[in-house]
Amino acid sequence: MIDIEPSINQEKNKSPSWSSSIFKGTRLGIQYDIAYKFEKPDKIMNNRLSYRLEYSRAFLDYFSLHVDTKLFTFFKNDHRIKSEEDIMSFEGRTREAYLQASFNKTSIKAGIQVIVWGESDYAIVTNEIGRLDYREPLSLNIDDLRIGQPMLTVDQYTSFGNWSGFFVPYPQFNEQPRKGTGYYYDPFDGNVEYEKKKQDENFFEYGLRWRKTFGKSDISIMAASLIDNQYALTMISPNLISRSKERFFMTGATFNRAINNFLVKGEVAIKSQKTYNDASFQMVKKDALDASFGIDYSPNSTFTLSMEAVNYHIMNWTDEIQGIPRNNHILLLALSKQLMKNDLALSWASMYNGPYTNFFNILSASYNWNDHITLNCDVLIPITDDVKSGFYPYRDQKQFAFRVLYQL
């Protein structure tokens, strides 16, 4: 009889190859996305491929590398194609790419990161640190819109609570639809030009948060000095507008509490010296008080009902402030249900925004075909007749979207 046991043991004791070691922790995804606007004039809005790389690997006991990035290929008729003569174009977006060092109860991260301090899934109250990608404006999922930026963060874990601090040396701004693309909107109809104001002061951002868990509850308190994610605008002449970076200060608090099948959550923030515009398009500085309150109800693991109310309030508001009301409120209702052993997920969300009335509705379905392929479809219906509404430029963007994702 031939003894094969030694050879089997030799195979087990072999060190992993260099290639298998270096690619461990890698996840690749390829997604095709098509969206059709079915309200006249009907046309294709999305026609694209995206390639996503997620990589996470620990090394040298104390260090780890994390990467989450996407490359997009936009084909003809996609709204991100700037010229009808272009067959395709390419863009990239990196959510995270940072190096992490962990020692005892301290974690330090350096690189491109996203910080989420709030509790709301749909509104910006205390989540003012990160910037958003508004080039895809018809999305209720704030998490999908987040774009990372270079920063240094430190987390310290103690028995008294967890401390988190951040420093952003050069803050970046929200991405807006660019001229020539499908969602671009110019309130001045091309009659003005924009220039960046020369500013020599430092524009770094920094902040600190304390968070503590008490049984089924979490609370946090935070403070930060921030640069507004939107440029402030000042009219220099009837044909020229200056864009500038403006600082404001935020103090806030969040909480959540699990009670049986309910999760109660909320957040509040005072924002000092926020920038607005008056009738002559000059800057006006006012303090703001923003707050949200939500309830999630989950009677079982396959069904969730979410309700949330949000209010954005300008303190000491006067009618000289143009385009922004004293109170801008949002009411949101969302349902989600999983079926077929969780392979099929159905969801519906409806948002009301006032006093400049608009409704936004989205019905979604997601099906896990197998371990690698996921199919998704969405029906998006914005409704508004109020010219002051933020959704007014997209009032005719009723769409059906389909996506197929292949993951390795």
- Reported pTM: 0.89
**What is the C-alpha to C-alpha distance for residues 396 and 398, in angstroms, rounded to an integer?**
6
Distance in Å from the first CA to the final CA of the chain: 42
pLDDT of residue 143: 79
Quote the tokens at residue 241: 């507008």
Report which DSSP code applies to 121: S
At 325 the three-state DSSP class reads coil
Give the Cβ contact number of residue 287 at 10 Å. 15
Q: Which residues contact 57 (CB under 8 A, 6 or more apart)?
A: 24, 25, 64, 65
Each residue's pLDDT tens digit in the chain (408 positions)?
334 344 434 444 444 554 456 677 899 999 999 999 998 889 999 999 999 999 999 999 899 999 999 999 999 999 999 877 788 999 999 999 999 999 999 999 999 999 999 998 888 999 999 899 999 888 877 778 889 999 999 999 999 999 999 999 999 999 999 888 889 988 888 889 999 999 988 899 999 999 999 999 999 999 999 999 999 999 999 999 999 999 999 999 999 999 999 999 999 999 999 999 998 999 999 999 999 999 999 999 999 999 999 999 999 999 999 889 999 999 999 999 999 999 999 999 999 999 999 999 999 999 999 999 999 999 999 999 999 898 899 999 999 999 999 998
Tokens of 83: 């010229």
Q: What is the pLDDT of residue 39?
A: 85
Distance CA 151, CA 110 (A): 6
HEC readout, 217-251: EEEEEEEEEEECCCCEEEEEECCEEEEECCEEEEE
